[in-house]
Amino acid sequence: MFRGVFVARSKIKVGVIGVGNCFSGLYQGLEYYRHHNVDRAAGLMHPVLGGYKLSDIEFVSAFDVAENKVGSHLHKATFASPNAVNWVKNMPKSNVVVQESPILDGIGTFVHGLVKPVKNKSMDVLTRDIRRHIEETQTRILLCYLPVGSQKACEYWAKMALDTGCGMVNCLPVFIASNPLWAQRFKQAGLPIAGDDIKAQVGSTIVHRTLAKLVDDRGALIDGTYQLNVGGNTDFLNMKEHGRLSSKKISKTESVQSNLRKPLDADRIHIGPSDYVPFLGNKKLGFMRIEGRMWADIPFNVELRLEVDDKANSGGVSVDALRCVQIALDRGASGYLEGPSAYFMKHPPVQYADPVARQMVEDFIAGKNQPK
Ligand SMILES: NC(=O)c1ccc[n+]([C@@H]2O[C@H](COP(=O)([O-])OP(=O)(O)OC[C@H]3O[C@@H](n4cnc5c(N)ncnc54)[C@H](O)[C@@H]3O)[C@@H](O)[C@H]2O)c1
């Protein structure tokens, strides 16, 4: 068991896969906090985590497929279309140049008009160059922000993490940490992973599962519930392609179901991204309804509308997931990180109620529990 004093040994050297809107929110948010008193600033679960401050997180490599991002410096690529996060006007110059990534299944049908992918290199050359770049930049954690439905691309990057000795934070709903085969590979390689599908800070999933649990804990019966989400960014445009959505729906539905004493029948729960409304941009609207019965079978219902900036929503969680993976690397801990995955992700290897998961994170940070 880890019993040391928290002394941050190094910077957290991160490589990002997918320089899209979520990354831009994270990257520009980090810059925002550089100019604000972190202890007082809103939006953080841990100003310092395991000895690491936000300013210890450094992006040292970046990978994408978009013609207008590959070859561009990171401080410019963050604003490249169709990205729509513009919170910090003057980002400091970054020396990081976005590298070409294999396209595989990254670009969906609906997004094709907005993202023009480059394909300059053969797969062998690309893989060799990516490996070399990760080594040269001393990247230690790969942060995966690929589009929904990028099964092959996400697996490519999970293998790349294993081959280059990187830990991984998997923010998309492709099951890596929660797939026992992949989790075992990370364990055997001595590398940590937190995943899968990042659970937004105040997003539809955490609100819906908390509300459903409240109703359930109070002894009421849920007869049916839905969660419909609309937004206007490329993530929502991409999710119009229903064939790419199967794991997203599983991830979001299980996240609510797992919080109930008895899961609802499949036809009593409907959760999913529901439409793309272009003028909403990064504004996301979530509509939730729970129908149920309480004392003496008397019916009730709850309706809730959530309005959030979709891209502010993942950054505050990613910074904690990244720092947990870094302290696992520092301690030589490997495999899936049970508490951090449960608290920060919608589809972790093992689901726990959020207060339990939160305590598990605190225990993990304090060195009281290590990955299995
Ligand atoms: N907003 C949230 O809070 C939240 C929550 C859960 C999950 N997510 C997930 O995070 C992921 C990223 O979301 P986003 O809004 O940044 O999407 P986005 O569409 O803005 O960005 C995706 C980026 O990936 C790039 N890309 C596409 N194929 C690639 C490939 N093969 N290799 C490398 N790069 C590739 C695109 O060019 C683009 O820059 C999505 O899967 C989304 O569902 C976000």
Question: Comparing 6-15, 43-52, 252-261, which segment has the lowest mean pLDDT?
Answer: 6-15
CATH number of the structural domain spanning residue 346? 3.40.50.720
Bridge partner list, 306? 286
Co-location of 168 and 29 in the same domain: yes
Is residue 313 within 6 Å of ligand 1 at its C-beta? Answer: yes
pTM above 0.85, yes or no: yes
Q: How far is CA 367 from the centre of its chain?
A: 24
pLDDT at 42: 85
What percent of the chain is helix, strand and coil (3-state, nearest 5)? 40, 20, 40
Question: pLDDT by residue (tens digit) across 294-353?
Answer: 999 999 999 999 999 998 899 999 999 999 999 999 999 999 999 999 999 999 999 999
* Coil vs helix vs strand at 354: helix
Co-location of 303 and 322 in the same domain: no
Co-location of 166 and 74 in the same domain: yes
* Coil vs helix vs strand at 217: helix
pLDDT at 371: 58
Phi, psi of 255 (to 5 degrees): -65, -35
Co-location of 231 and 305 in the same domain: yes
Co-location of 125 and 40 in the same domain: yes
pLDDT at 81 over 70: yes
Assign 9 a pLDDT band (cuts: 50, 70, 90): low
User: Residues, the chain, total?
Assistant: 372
From 142, 235, 238, 282, the mutation candidate for ligand 1 (largest count of ligand atoms within 8 A of CB) is: 235
Question: pLDDT by residue (tens digit) across 220-266?
Answer: 999 999 999 999 999 999 999 999 998 988 989 999 999 999 999 99
Q: Distance, CA 187 to ligand 1 centroid (Å)?
A: 26
Question: pLDDT by residue (tens digit) across 274-288?
Answer: 899 999 999 999 999
Q: How far apart are CA 115 and CA 321, in angstroms?
A: 28
* Coil vs helix vs strand at 194: strand
Calculate the average pLDDT of the chain: 94
Is residue 20 within 6 Å of ligand 1 at its C-beta? Answer: yes
pLDDT at 37 over 90: no
Contacts of 38 (CB under 8 A, 6+ apart): 44, 47, 53, 54
pLDDT at 175: 97
pLDDT at 4 over 80: no
- Rg of the chain, C-alpha, whole Å: 20
Number of Cβ within 10 Å of residue 206's Cβ equals 19
Is residue 203 within 6 Å of ligand 1 at its C-beta? Answer: yes
Residue 140 falls inside a structural domain: yes
Return the percentage of the chain with pLDDT > 70, whole number: 96
Co-location of 223 and 334 in the same domain: no
Co-location of 184 and 262 in the same domain: no
Co-location of 280 and 176 in the same domain: no
pLDDT at 25 over 70: yes
Residue 3 falls inside a structural domain: no
Is residue 80 within 6 Å of ligand 1 at its C-beta? Answer: no
pLDDT at 7: 52
- Output b/e per residue, 142-177; b: 16+ Cβ within 10 A: bbbbbbbbbbebbbbbbebbbebebbbbbbbbbbbb
CATH number of the structural domain spanning residue 301? 3.30.360.10
Domain boundary among 263, 288, 309: 309
Nearest Cα residue to 27 out of 341, 235, 344, 312: 312
Domain enclosing residue 270, as ranges: 204-309
Say if residues 74 and 59 touch (Cβ distance below 8 Å): yes
Contacts of 235 (CB under 8 A, 6+ apart): 20, 21, 22, 147, 148, 310
Co-location of 344 and 273 in the same domain: no
Nearest Cα residue to 315 out of 23, 12, 2: 23
Residue 372 falls inside a structural domain: no
Task: Report how far apart, in Å, the C-alpha atoms of 271 and of each of 231, 257, 359 are.
Answer: 15, 11, 27
Assign 1 a pLDDT band (cuts: 50, 70, 90): very low
pLDDT at 6: 53
Co-location of 22 and 86 in the same domain: yes
234 CA: nearest ligand 1 atom: 19
Q: Two tokens at 270?
A: 């409907």
pLDDT at 3: 45
Co-location of 151 and 218 in the same domain: no
Residue 7 falls inside a structural domain: no
Dihedral sign of CA atoms 71, 168, 56, 310 in order: positive
Residue 168 falls inside a structural domain: yes
Residue with tokens 């539809």: 204
CA angle 183, 186, 192 (to 5 degrees): 100
Q: How far apart are CA 71 and CA 74, in angstroms?
A: 9
Is residue 106 within 6 Å of ligand 1 at its C-beta? Answer: yes
Q: How far is CA 248 from the centre of its chain?
A: 12
Question: pLDDT by residue (tens digit) across 166-195?
Answer: 999 999 999 999 999 999 999 999 999 999
Is residue 200 within 6 Å of ligand 1 at its C-beta? Answer: yes
Based on the structure, what is the number of domains in the chain? 2
Co-location of 63 and 145 in the same domain: yes
Q: How far apart are CA 215 and CA 293, in angstroms?
A: 10
* Coil vs helix vs strand at 272: strand
